[in-house]
């Protein structure tokens, strides 16, 4: 009887799955900034539903009720406090991560301007406000660049090694050359494109892919604040399209702004 048992064990061992299966079981991780609402919240939900681990950040997690509910329903979602304008806070956040690999660092957090700011023409000629300029540029440009610098080792330690900046067609000279309602926001997206293109050149030798993606026109508070009333995607539709683009990225990505529909945005 013992010989039979030993024979069965040996036979099963012979058909044991190779180590490669463990490789296939790897779960990628994405970090999404500004996940408390709109596209950021939709991205967190989309990637979690697709089986990814999600580090969803917000400046004020206690006030991010929908994000908290998502985290309670889906254990793949981990909510963290992060303000991309607080450099010291970003370093503390990095310490909390303790070197954990981040396959995709997705910079979604952005500032158009408060409704009061847009109503008072603080981004238009005749009412230009320096304080708002600094807030928009710090949030939309410096924040993503600095956070990428602080977390680059986490990205380098991952398998996919991707950093994504969320741009906009409003940063395109060709598409929006005649628009003059949001000076700072438009400038910030053009600056983000240039900054990420430069960062791409520095990080490509390390095998890190840096890409610039746009969500398209999406039904969000930010779009409502802009006064746009045309056809727009639902946040879930935009997030689904962005996930496909992110997953398809390779180190040979040209580093040009790409819309959610896969079309290059003329810059």
Residue 164: what pLDDT?
Answer: 98
Q: Are 232 and 251 in contact (CB under 8 A)?
A: no
Report the distance separating Cα 47 and Cα 239, nearest Å: 8
Q: What is the pTM of this model?
A: 0.86
Structure tokens that stand for 40 in this block? 């950021």
- Residue 181, classed as helix, strand or coil, is coil
Tell me whether residue 267 is in a domain.
no
Report the distance separating Cα 80 and Cα 161, nearest Å: 21
Residue 257: what pLDDT?
Answer: 96
Residue 61 above 60 pLDDT?
yes
Number of domains the chain is built from? 1
Q: Are 236 and 42 in contact (CB under 8 A)?
A: yes
Least confident of 49-58, 190-199, 219-228: 219-228
Q: What is the CATH number of the domain that holds 159?
A: 3.40.50.720
Average pLDDT of every residue of the chain: 87
- Over residues 228-256, the mean pLDDT reads 91
Tell me whether residue 17 is in a domain.
no
Report the distance separating Cα 173 and Cα 179, nearest Å: 9
- Residue spans of alpha helices (H) in the chain: 2-14, 20-24, 38-49, 65-73, 87-97, 115-119, 130-137, 143-156, 173-176, 183-203, 221-226, 235-248
Query: 170 or 71: whose pLDDT is higher?
Result: 71
Tell me whether residue 94 is in a domain.
yes
Tell me whether residue 19 is in a domain.
no
Tell me whether residue 264 is in a domain.
no
Least confident of 6-20, 26-40, 165-179, 233-247: 6-20
Residue 117: what pLDDT?
Answer: 53
Q: How confident is the model at residue 114 (pLDDT cuts 50, 70, 90)?
A: low
Tell me whether residue 151 is in a domain.
yes
Tell me whether residue 6 is in a domain.
no
User: Would you tell me how many other CB atoms lie within 10 Å of the CB of residue 12?
Assistant: 9
- Over residues 25-53, the mean pLDDT reads 96
Q: Which residues contact 31 (CB under 8 A, 6 or more apart)?
A: 54, 55, 57, 102, 104, 105, 106, 151
Tell me whether residue 56 is in a domain.
yes
Residue ranges making up the domain that contains 225: 27-259
Q: How confident is the model at residue 118 (pLDDT cuts 50, 70, 90)?
A: low
Query: In percent, how much of the chain has pLDDT > 70?
Result: 82
């Amino acid at each position: 009887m013992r010989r039979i048992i030993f024979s069965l064990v040996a036979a099963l061992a012979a058909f044991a799955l190779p180590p490669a299966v463990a490789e296939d079981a790897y779960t990628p991780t994405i970090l999404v900034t500004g996940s408390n609402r709109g596209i950021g919240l939709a991205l967190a939900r989309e990637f979690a539903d697709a089986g990814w681990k999600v580090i969803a950040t917000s400046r004020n997690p206690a006030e991010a009720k929908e994000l908290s509910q998502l985290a309670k329903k889906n254990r793949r979602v981990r909510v963290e406090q992060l303000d991309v304008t607080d450099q010291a806070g970003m370093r503390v956040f990095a310490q909390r991560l303790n070197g954990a690999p981040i396959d995709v660092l997705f910079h979604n957090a952005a500032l158009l301007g408060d409704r009061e700011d847009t109503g008072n023409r603080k981004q238009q000629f005749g009412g230009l406000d320096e304080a708002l300029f600094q807030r928009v540029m710090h949030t939309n440009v410096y924040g993503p660049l600095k956070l990428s610098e602080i977390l680059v080792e986490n990205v380098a330690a991952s398998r996919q090694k991707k950093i994504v900046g969320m741009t906009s067609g409003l940063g395109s000279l060709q598409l929006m050359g005649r628009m003059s309602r949001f000076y700072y926001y438009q400038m910030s997206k053009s600056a983000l494109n240039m900054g990420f293109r430069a960062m791409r050149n520095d990080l490509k030798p390390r095998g890190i892919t840096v890409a610039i993606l746009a969500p398209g026109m999406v039904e969000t508070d930010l779009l409502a604040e802009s006064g746009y009333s045309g056809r727009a995607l639902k946040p879930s539709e935009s997030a689904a399209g962005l996930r496909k683009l992110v997953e398809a990225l390779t180190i040979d990505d040209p580093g040009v702004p790409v819309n959610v529909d896969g079309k290059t945005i003329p810059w």
